[in-house]
Amino acid sequence: MDERRRVPRARVVDLAVTASAGLADAYAFAARAERGAEGADGWPAAALLLVAALSLLGRRGHPVVVFALVWACGVLAAPLGGGALHLTAIPCAALFTVALTRPATVSAAALAACSVLALPPVLFLHLLLYAGVWTAGRWTRVTRRRAERDAVLAERARIARELHDIVAHAVTAMVLQAAGARRVLATDPARVRQALGHVEETGEQAMGELRRMFAALRPDRAAGEGPGAVPDRPQPGLADLDHLVHAVAAAGVRVHTRVEGQPRHLAASVDLAAYRVVQEALTDATRHAGPGSTAEVRLRWGEADLTVEVTDNGRARRPDRGRSADHDLSGLHERLAIVGGRLVTDLRRGDGCRLAAVLPVSTPRPAPAPVTAKDRR
């Protein structure tokens, strides 16, 4: 949709530039002709002006060719117009496009060529005008390049936050499962095998996501190409909560899940944000409350929004780890703000923690049920 909107707007801009530059030079030509310029021949001069103006319609695709044509028309303007036709606005438009889209050497050559079009008695003013137009084009080029670079850096920062979320959850779950396996190593080999299987599965999932993120950081390699290519798999969402709850339950945290209302369709970014809220809250519960605690995940579907609420009782043995760092919550705040949601945290001293997020719901299309209301141990 964005491309379809941009193309007509570009055409409108091209038509406006062509019309305004052509009319400006045509008005100057008519004014000089009325003052009785010697040797002025109206029809050839008007045809030359029309050709120069219409050539500006192709300046986006072929800026150098258009500039060369406009420059040739400007050189021929003096003999054909009898001193009445001086092209100024049209060459400025062509010069700006070359300065905006071409390297410095090419645009500098175009600026030097414009000096031929500067004629007395306003030669110095014309030179200043061309220099100013060239400077504006180069400045716009640099500004756009900087904006593109900033967008790339922002995207890399977003990917870094994704990596933090993935690694934090996976490592926490693996450490807790390994610790639980060590405690029952001599008494319950079956639980040890199960815990080690969860450690392996969680590690493989985290490594797969890490590889996908690193592939996104390498724009020179297309998806599915090269020896290090990573299959394009979707990001997790609410449909994957059952697996997440199962992994947390294997670490010793009893998780209740509850779904209220009719599940609705969510945009991919909103679905991922909802999953990350639950993931961060359950990871925090395993750190803070430890094995034996209880957590509840509640999804409340409304007409226009989804409320994701995760609470834990905080009553089990508390390891020597603090609650989520500010970096974690600020990342969640930013992620939710981007998709139009908001985050609410409530640290209840001695009685656990509550983490809730309100997210926008898109079209009222039914979506697959994310989880079943089961208790996991």
DSSP state of 318: -
Number of Cβ within 10 Å of residue 374's Cβ equals 12
pLDDT in tens, the chain (377 residues): 444 444 467 788 889 998 998 898 888 888 877 776 554 556 788 888 899 999 999 998 899 999 999 999 988 887 776 667 888 899 999 999 999 999 999 999 999 999 888 877 778 888 999 999 999 999 999 998 898 888 777 766 776 776 677 677 777 778 887 888 888 888 888 888 888 888 887 777 777 667 656 665 655 444 444 433 444 445 788 888 888 888 888 778 888 899 999 888 887 778 888 898 898 888 887 776 667 788 899 999 988 899 999 988 765 444 444 444 444 566 677 778 777 888 887 655 456 788 889 998 864 343 334 444 344 44
Considering the domain boundaries, does residue 187 fall inside one? no
pLDDT at 203: 78
376 pairs with which residues across the strands? Answer: 255
Q: Tokens standing for 183?
A: 């405690």
DSSP state of 84: S
CA angle 350, 353, 358 (to 5 degrees): 160
Task: Single out the residue of 92, 104, 100, 109 nearest to residue 143, CA to CA.
Answer: 100
Among the candidates 119, 137, 162, a domain finishes at 119
Considering the domain boundaries, does residue 328 fall inside one? yes
- Give me the helices (H) in the chain, please: 2-34, 42-55, 63-81, 89-101, 104-114, 123-183, 189-216, 241-250, 268-288, 326-338
pLDDT at 344: 80
- Cβ(107)–Cβ(134) under 8 Å? yes
Among the candidates 57, 91, 119, a domain finishes at 119
- The CATH number given to whatever domain includes residue 344 is 3.30.565.10
pLDDT at 367: 39
Counting the structural domains of the chain, the total is 2
Considering the domain boundaries, does residue 224 fall inside one? no
Q: Tokens standing for 34?
A: 């009325």
Considering the domain boundaries, does residue 278 fall inside one? yes
Considering the domain boundaries, does residue 210 fall inside one? no
- Give the Cα separation of 269 and 278 in Å (integer): 15
Considering the domain boundaries, does residue 133 fall inside one? no
Considering the domain boundaries, does residue 285 fall inside one? yes
Give 218-266 as a DSSP string: -TTS-TT-STT-----PPP-GGGHHHHHHHHHHTT-EEEEEEES--B--
Considering the domain boundaries, does residue 238 fall inside one? no
Among the candidates 119, 150, 180, a domain finishes at 119
pTM: 0.49
Question: Residue 276: which domain range?
Answer: 251-377
